[in-house]
């Protein structure tokens, strides 16, 4: 479960979307990962929330290197920007949640989620998360059906 409370996130649907993202990115399913908050791209774990782990990991099967980390696979340089912009003290679960919500805000997905329009929210956020359908990252994309199931399982409502 996301650590941010629904009243601080903008509603239960926002928290459900955060949980859906963790399922989609595969982070929340990794043992010992603190519900995905301590995952390094590729499935490794980091320790401590004082800062982004800042590890460049080679992913040979995708022919890329990435610094993605945390429940929402936030890149190192994006963390630095949002840490400053949002006044975050660290890379803790709450800070990761706030960054993901800011990314959703930038995609104009928050009103969609508050209205229960999960399909439009996923489409709007596809440019931010490689696991969402409709992006051009060339990585595995989840199906909309799987995402809706994860969203509803996390307490999200459709057509709210």
- The DSSP-derived string for 16-61 is HHHHHHHHHHT-TTSTTSTTTTTEETTTEE---SSS-----EEETT
Inside any domain, residue 160: no
Given 25, 76, 145, 152, the catalytic residue: 25
Locate 141 and state its tokens.
């994309």
Helix, coil or strand: residue 91 = coil
Contact between 113 and 104 under an 8 Å Cβ cutoff? The reply is: yes
Q: What is the CATH number of the domain that holds 87?
A: 1.10.530.10
CA gap 126, 128 in Å, rounded: 5
Inside any domain, residue 1: no
Inside any domain, residue 78: yes
pLDDT tens digits along 39-57: 999 899 999 999 999 999 9
For the chain, the helix, strand and coil percentages under 3-state DSSP, each to the nearest 5: 40, 10, 50
Question: Which of 116, 103, 129 minimizes the C-alpha distance to 27?
Answer: 129
- Expressed as residue numbers, the domain containing 45 is 6-153
Whole-model pTM over 0.85: yes
Confidence of residue 158 (pLDDT cuts 50, 70, 90): very high
pLDDT tens digits along 14-29: 999 999 999 999 999 9
pLDDT tens digits along 52-96: 999 999 987 778 899 999 999 999 999 999 999 999 999 999 999
Backbone angles phi, psi at 73, to 5 degrees: 50, 60
| Active-site residue flag, 25 | yes
Inside any domain, residue 159: no
* Domains contained in the chain, number: 1
pLDDT tens digits along 112-138: 999 999 999 999 999 999 899 987 666
């Amino acid at each position: 479960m996301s650590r941010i409370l629904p009243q601080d996130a903008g509603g239960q649907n926002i928290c459900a979307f955060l949980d859906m993202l963790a399922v989609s990115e595969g982070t929340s399913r990794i043992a010992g990962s603190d519900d995905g908050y301590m995952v390094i791209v590729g499935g490794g774990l980091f320790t401590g929330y004082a800062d982004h782990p800042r590890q460049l990991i080679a992913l040979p099967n995708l022919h890329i290197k990435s610094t993605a980390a945390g429940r929402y696979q936030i890149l190192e340089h994006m963390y630095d920007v949002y840490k400053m912009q949002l006044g975050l003290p660290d890379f803790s679960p709450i800070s990761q949640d706030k960054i993901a919500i800011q990314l959703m805000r930038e995609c104009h997905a928050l009103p969609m989620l508050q209205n229960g329009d999960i399909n439009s929210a996923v489409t709007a956020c596809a440019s931010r998360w490689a696991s969402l359908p409709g992006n051009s990252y060339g990585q595995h994309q989840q199906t909309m059906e799987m995402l809706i199931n994860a969203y509803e399982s996390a307490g999200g409502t459709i057509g709210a």
